[in-house]
Structure formats: C-alpha cells, structure tokens
Amino acid sequence: MMSRRHFCNVLQSPRKTRWLLLVVSVLTVFFLIAWNLLRPVKFIPLPPVALDDPLQLPSMPGDVSIAVCRPTPVDFSPLEKFLVKSSPKVCPGKLPWFQVTGDKIRITDEALLRNAGSVECTFTEWHYVSDLVVRNSPPVSTTAGEYTLKDSDVAKVSCTGAHGLKYESVEIGVARSKRDGIGWSYTADDDIGLSILILVYDSVSRGIFERKLPKTNSILRSLGAITLEGYSILGDGTPAALIPMLTGETEEELPGVQKNLKKPLSVSTYPFIFQEAMDRGYVTAYLEDTWRVGTFTYRLTGFAYPPTDHFPIPYFKAMEQGEAAWNFCREGKVHHLDWLEYITNLMDTYTSVPRLFFGLHGHLSHDDLNRLGEHDDELVDFFADLEAQGHLNNSLVLLMADHGPRFTEFRQTEGGNHEERHPFIRMLLPCWFAQKFPEKHENLMENARSGVLLTPFDLHATFLDLLGDGLLDERREVWRSKGLKTADTRALSLFSEIPKDRDCKVADIPVHWCDCFKWTLLSVEDPSVRHIADTIVESINRFNSVAGRLCSRLTIREIAQASSTFNDGHLLFEVHFSVSPSGAKFEALAAKVLNSSHVAVDVPTISRTNRYEDQPRCISGSFPQLLKFCYCETDPF
C-alpha cells in the first residue's frame, strides 16, 4: 500500500501527477459505463392513452444526432433462399366482351360473332360518394355496341345476346375531365414544364426489385433511370411513406383522421399535392388496387370527396369483392394488368396538358415477395409503350416502393431489417432536362449517387419545386409556423444542393428507423437485456390497456437478438423478441439516459415482423392503433 509520504512525493512530481490523473479518469469512465449497463433498469410507466387522441404519446427523450450518415452495407446473399422463380400467370376462362380505349367501351368482334351480331347492353356509371357509398347514374341501354363514358371512369355493364346469352362486368376507362382550368397556360411562370407520374409498389425493397424484376431493371437502365442510393423510409407501413410524400407532413402533424377518434376529420383536410397541381393547370389521378387495406381507409377515415380529377376506387373495390380477389384473374386475363392499362389510358388521353398521376399497386407484392416476378414482362412493355408514345419526353416518372417487406421470414434477418428501410426507387427524366437545367440536373445526380440521406419529405419538396410559383417557400413558412424544428432541413428539393453531412436528426428520420448506427451485439442471457425486453413488453401492455381487457397480457417468450449503441447521451438498445400467447415477433428500440435508470419506449414505432392475421379481430374497428400488438383471446360479443 502506498504510504502517505510516497503519495505526497508523487503529487510533487508533475509527470507522475499527470499519469495518476489519467489512470483515475480512465477507471472512473469505465466504472460509470459498466454501472449503467449492469444495474437494474427502472420502468417508467407511460401515461394512459386518451381514447380521442391516440397519437400524443411520449417520444424518445432528447434529440439523437450522429455523424455523416451512409447506410451500413449489408450482405444480401441470404435473401436468395427466400426467393422462388415465378412465371407469368395464365388465366383460363371466358374472354371479355368489351375492350376500352379512352372513354369508349366497345364490344369486341368475337363477342358480336358469338351473338350473331345482336347484343343489347345497359351501362350504369358509378360515382364515388364516399369509401362506403357509390351513386349510380341513370342506366343507358343501347344496341350500338359502344358506350361513351360521360362523368365517371367506372361503369357496370349488363348485356343480353342472341340465344339468351348473358354477360355482366365492371369496366374502367377515362372520362375526360370537364373541369375548367386544365392546361399549360394555367401553370406558374417558373413551372419546369414536366408532367409527374408516380408509380408505387407495396413492400418491395431494392434487393427484391433487382432480383424479381431484372428485365424491368434493364430497360430502366437503358432509358437512363436514376437510382436514389440513400433513400430511406420514415416510419411503419404505407401511410408513413405516402403521407409525407403527398403532403409534406406526417400523420402526427396533420389533423386527426384516425377512425377511433371521437370526432375524426376527413382525410380530405390533408394538404395534398394534388390540389396545388390542380390550381396550376394539372389534371390529376389517384388510384389504389387494394381497397381492403387502403392507405387512407384502413385505419383512417377516407375521403369526403375525390381528391383528384380521376379517382376510380369503386372499380378496384368491386374487383376485390369478385373473382379477382381469390384467383387474381378477371375475364381471362390477370387482374393486375387493369392497373397498368388504366394508367396507360390516362397518359394517352391527356397528351397535351400537364398531368400529375399517382398509382399504388399492392395486389401482387403486398402479401408475397415472389409474385412480383410475374409482372416483369408487363412492366417492360409498359415502359416501352411510354417511350414509343413520347410520354417520357415530357414527364418525370418515379417507379418506387413505399417500403420493403414487413412480415416475411426474410424480414427477421439482418438483411430484412435493412431492406424494409430501403425501398427501391428509380427516376426517369427527359433527355432535354440536363441541357435546359444543367445546375438542377447536376444537383440531382450528386444527391442520387452520393448516398446522402433522402426521404419522402424530399420527394414532396421536389414536386413543389417542379410546380414552381414559390410553393416550396410557402409551405416551409407553414411548417415554421407550426413549430416544426426541422422545417428548414427535412424537405429539400432533389434539384437543390443537399448537404453531404445530413444525418437522421436533420432529415427528421425517427430513431427507430435510422439506419446509420453502428451496433454492438449483446448476449441475450445478459440480465440487463432481459430487463430492457421486459420493459418494452410492459410498455406494450400499457399501450394495449386502452382497450380494457380485450387484449391479452403479453409476456416474453424468447429474446432472439439484442444490440446496443451509444449516441448523444443515450444508450440505445435494439431488441428482437417474441411474446406469448400470440407468438408475435417484434423489433423494438429502447433509449436509456446515461447516469439514469430511466428507460423510454416509443411503442407506436415498434416493428412487428410476422403477420398478425386475425389476432386483433376484437379491436380492429375500435382501436386500429393496436393492430400489431393486441391478441384477442375471445371476441367482444
């Protein structure tokens, strides 16, 4: 043991004093870190969730910022074992009696031949009133073999032919909009002069796109498509991707439209980009082919009126309630072709006016990561036709996904974690754009290739930039007035210079979805890991408690993986675990402030990585925010 005299001699030696202080400092830091990791974690009960405001939940304490972010490279070779070769589907059965071009529904020569040239048909147009109500126009009967759509894109057809043959179908065409104010003369003086076509596929990551649609990938490369290397999602599911893209804000920042609110508003209160475009001469369209899980109707209240000039939801709703819902066929052809054919019809109908068309396709890809391969040749033909008709010479085209797969076995791998956060995205621009706008093009290429973080907010800013008229500056003023801390940094046009040191904080990517952390694996047997996992599950149980006793209490079944990282005064834990009695598998983030026993869990951001099927059937209508967490042992009645 060091004597007091020797200790004093050490202090009198400057060199020895410095060494002693260094040793003491290192040991102190090591002790504090070890103490924070190993001591028991104290659970902070979340406040009760108000029935009329389910989104006002506590968030992660403090801000999280990291150094220059580039997504971590991941080995995607394990993906191959989840992929199986898919061939184009062949649909047997009767041939359709009609073909549709523009607003004309014409009986085919084959149908006339089968009916000895005599067919009487009644056409009834369907008009969207709400997501549950469709108004019928007065029926029109004719033997002319042709009908012109008047005020709706959708019509029910009932025919009687020779020998008593009967035929019924629902047809979709394009009834040209009669709205005033459509045309290039109505656009802003600084409008760039491009139409906008946005095609989104549900649940397709970059890796899956390249492996399942190789021919499409090839033709896009030949057309000069640009890949946004650093594109990342903002949250869980389709709404978290599309709402920021189409409005510039998140669901939490916009008026309450969740079905379980006491007095929910309509989704029509959202500041959609479509209205800005229509005010400036653009004709618009919005279509989704999966009405049963619609972006704005599954958890949200839907539209009070059509958000666009063309809104053929009644057609796709009818398809999901008919033959196409179970065998993916309609009248001898694959149903998913209806989606592409309708978009082609839109493009061909409006050749001389500005267009903003948006389509979301989930029929093939939402539930199965392999069926998308059936679509490869069809997409090649689609883009070849767009080029042949000259549409690519006046349009910005985005082909992309909302997010990667969420509920597949692949999602439970490291590659699956990364792929969910990085959907595929390709952009096409006319050849003349680079010559006419060299600075904008140079910025776009640099932003795309550098891997700088990009999000749906930036896509929205780009659309506003294309429309001109100072729209982006106006919207930014609105965001500032709402007190959004990242109003000046999160929505940047791809045609502007985006800082290379952009991180998740300034891009406004929530911590759970940030793919820039360097994680350290932990032992799942570590007591501190078990404490964190129990805290997360207890937080889920508290979150479920708004439904009373309808949801079973969950407990840890297995901890599959755990990891941690230090950031901005926080110790972050990412835990993969399953629970009983539901068998649900979750990926959750918990934040622990250093030198504190407090742990924060933001329950709504937790990812469920296997399907919940009908487990939450007892609360699906009343508490949609609990869908991925609640396990109903019994029905409510």
237-287 residue pLDDT tens: 899 999 999 999 999 999 999 988 889 999 999 999 999 999 999 999 999
**Long-range contacts (CB closer than 8 Å, 24 or more residues apart) made by 322-331:** 322/170, 327/91, 328/89, 328/91, 328/363, 329/89, 329/91, 329/92, 329/93, 330/91, 331/93, 331/94, 331/95, 331/96, 331/169
122-160 residue pLDDT tens: 999 999 998 888 999 999 999 988 999 999 999 999 999
* Amino acid (1-letter code) at residue 64: V
- What pLDDT was estimated at residue 393? 97
Class of domain 192-513: alpha beta
pLDDT band at 194 (very low <50, low <70, confident <90, very high): very high
- What pLDDT was estimated at residue 78? 67
Is the pLDDT score of 441 beyond 70?
A: yes
| 26 backbone dihedrals φ, ψ, rounded to 5° | -60, -45
- What pLDDT was estimated at residue 595? 77
Asked if 354 and 282 touch (Cβ cutoff 8 Å), the reply is: yes
Maximum Cα interatomic distance, the chain, rounded to a whole number of Å: 120
pLDDT band at 197 (very low <50, low <70, confident <90, very high): very high
Which CATH number is correct for 37-66+517-626, 3.30.67, 1.10.287, 3.40.1350, 3.10.450?
A: 3.10.450
578-608 residue pLDDT tens: 999 999 999 999 998 777 778 899 999 999 9
DSSP 137: P
- What pLDDT was estimated at residue 568? 76
- What pLDDT was estimated at residue 104? 97
Q: Which helix (H) or strand (E) segment is 87 a member of?
A: none
Summary mean pLDDT of the chain = 85
pLDDT band at 49 (very low <50, low <70, confident <90, very high): very low
- What pLDDT was estimated at residue 99? 94
Chain-centroid distance of CA 300 in Å reads 15
Residues of the chain within CATH 3.10.450 domain(s) are 37-66+517-626
Residues of the chain within CATH 3.40.720.10 domain(s) are 192-513
Q: What radius of gyration do the chain's Cα atoms show?
A: 28
- What pLDDT was estimated at residue 420? 81
Is the pLDDT score of 509 beyond 80?
A: yes
| Alpha carbons 149 and 126: distance in angstroms, whole number | 10
- Closest to 175 (Cα-Cα) out of 358, 338, 349, 339: 349
470-505 residue pLDDT tens: 999 999 999 999 999 999 999 999 999 999 999 999
Asked if 604 and 513 touch (Cβ cutoff 8 Å), the reply is: no
Measured at the alpha carbon of residue 360, what is the angle toward residues 83 and 290, in degrees to the nearest 5? 80
pLDDT band at 456 (very low <50, low <70, confident <90, very high): very high
Asked if 267 and 303 touch (Cβ cutoff 8 Å), the reply is: yes
104-126 residue pLDDT tens: 999 999 999 888 788 999 999 99
- What pLDDT was estimated at residue 3? 41
- What pLDDT was estimated at residue 54? 29
More confident residue, 220 or 322: 220
Asked if 123 and 105 touch (Cβ cutoff 8 Å), the reply is: yes
pLDDT band at 635 (very low <50, low <70, confident <90, very high): low
**Percentage of the chain lying above the pLDDT 90 cut:** 63
- Mean pLDDT for 303-332 is 84
pLDDT band at 34 (very low <50, low <70, confident <90, very high): very low
